[in-house]
Amino acid sequence: MKYVFGPVPSRRLGQSLGIDPIPLKTCNWNCVYCQLGRTMPLTLERGEYAPRHELLAEVEQALAACQPGEIDWATFVGSGEPTLHSGLGWMIRQVKAHTDLPVAVITNGSLLFLPEVRDELLAADAVLPTLDAGNAWLYRQINRAAPRFTFERLIEGIEMFRKVFTGRLWIETMLVKGMNDTAEALGEIALVLERLQPDHVHITLPIRPPAEAWVRLSDEAGVRRAEQILGKIASVSVPSESEARATRVGDLAETVLSIVTRHPMREAELLTLLNRWSADEVRQALQDLAGRHQVRAVDRDGLAFWSAAAMSFHTSRGDKK
């Protein structure tokens, strides 16, 4: 399948059927921690990136292949910013017409200042925008958005959406050591959260190879600080390594490729996740994909992560790998 993957385990959404309407790294942000590598170039315009009817046919096929109770959420997410797809509202409504599953959209939130995007997302049951910074300077340092997508527009967009959205608004905050995990930075994020009134805040960590090699995970003290400061405004959940099982949809090589394209993983993690196949089968699939230049191993602090070959990672501020 080209546009649908999983179900895969998600800390926020249980077993989530991933729906990816955007080609790899089609995004208007270039986050320093992005696990998909650097955004080159930034994409500014909305468009019909995935053919909507083809995508919907895949969703129907995946839903038919799963047992009742096997999926908790259908989630628009993946290898770029899903609100850049101009048919997102139509696709959300169509998915909801085909299933009783709740539909979530994981988004950077940057297009919510557009009335049409807010209207489209009203059809979802949960929307998960990103908030990594409480001021414009830090937002530019971390998210490196295209200039028209300013911090003020991000906050105003989420705030306007909150006023009309009756579903769940869950903010996602990626904690980067020394950038947004200080008491000052977290205090500023908390002030913004007061305006946004989210139902929940998910704190996440850049545990996969980030676009910039100098990015470091916030340590335990930083996570505790975030929990304490942000927790005064909203309920907060903190990271834990989720362990779950991928479900067999499509063949093994296709499954491996769909996972590492969106979520670079160590080989041991892949073996655990794909334990419906033998370790030899998974290793062989990785070698076959590498031989076809579809995946590659990327070094991160001495650990090898498998990722899509097309991803671009940098080992230092200047060196491309």
Q: Which stretch binds ligand SF4 (CB under 6 A): 30-38, 97-105, 179-187, 259-267?
A: 30-38
- Residue 34 binds ligand SF4 (CB under 6 A): yes
Please tell me the distance from the alpha carbon of residue 110 to that of residue 152, in angstroms, as a whole number: 10
- Residue 20 binds ligand SF4 (CB under 6 A): no
**DSSP β-bridge partners for residue 237:** 202
Cα 263-266-272 angle, rounded to 5 deg: 95
Least separation in angstroms between residue 39's CB and ligand SF4 is: 5
| C-alpha gyration radius of the chain | 19
- Cα 173 to Cα 119, 205, 320: the distances in Å are 24, 8, 27
Report the residue from 16, 30, 75, 258 that binds ligand SF4 according to the rule CB under 6 A.
Answer: 30
Q: Which stretch binds ligand SF4 (CB under 6 A): 32-40, 255-263, 270-278, 290-298?
A: 32-40
Report the residue from 83, 108, 173, 247 that binds ligand SF4 according to the rule CB under 6 A.
Answer: 108
**DSSP β-bridge partners for residue 130:** 172
Least separation in angstroms between residue 60's CB and ligand SF4 is: 26
Q: Which stretch binds ligand SF4 (CB under 6 A): 25-33, 186-194, 232-240, 286-294?
A: 25-33
Least separation in angstroms between residue 278's CB and ligand SF4 is: 33
Please tell me the distance from the alpha carbon of residue 175 to that of residue 253, in angstroms, as a whole number: 33
Least separation in angstroms between residue 36's CB and ligand SF4 is: 5
- Residue 81 binds ligand SF4 (CB under 6 A): yes
Site size toward ligand SF4 (CB under 6 A) is: 10
Report the residue from 1, 13, 27, 213 that binds ligand SF4 according to the rule CB under 6 A.
Answer: 27
Among the listed residues 5, 128, 14, the one whose alpha carbon sits nearest the alpha carbon of residue 71: 14
**DSSP β-bridge partners for residue 128:** 106
- Residue 80 binds ligand SF4 (CB under 6 A): yes
Least separation in angstroms between residue 68's CB and ligand SF4 is: 32
- Helix/strand/coil (H/E/C) assignment for every residue in 17-82: EEECCCCCCECCCCCCCCCCECCCCCCCCCECCCCHHHHHHHHHHHHHHCCCCCCCEEEECCCECH
Tokens 């080992």: give the residue. Answer: 315
Q: Which stretch binds ligand SF4 (CB under 6 A): 26-34, 93-101, 149-157, 254-262?
A: 26-34
Residues lying near ligand SF4 in the complex (CB under 6 A): 27, 29-31, 34, 36, 39, 80-81, 108
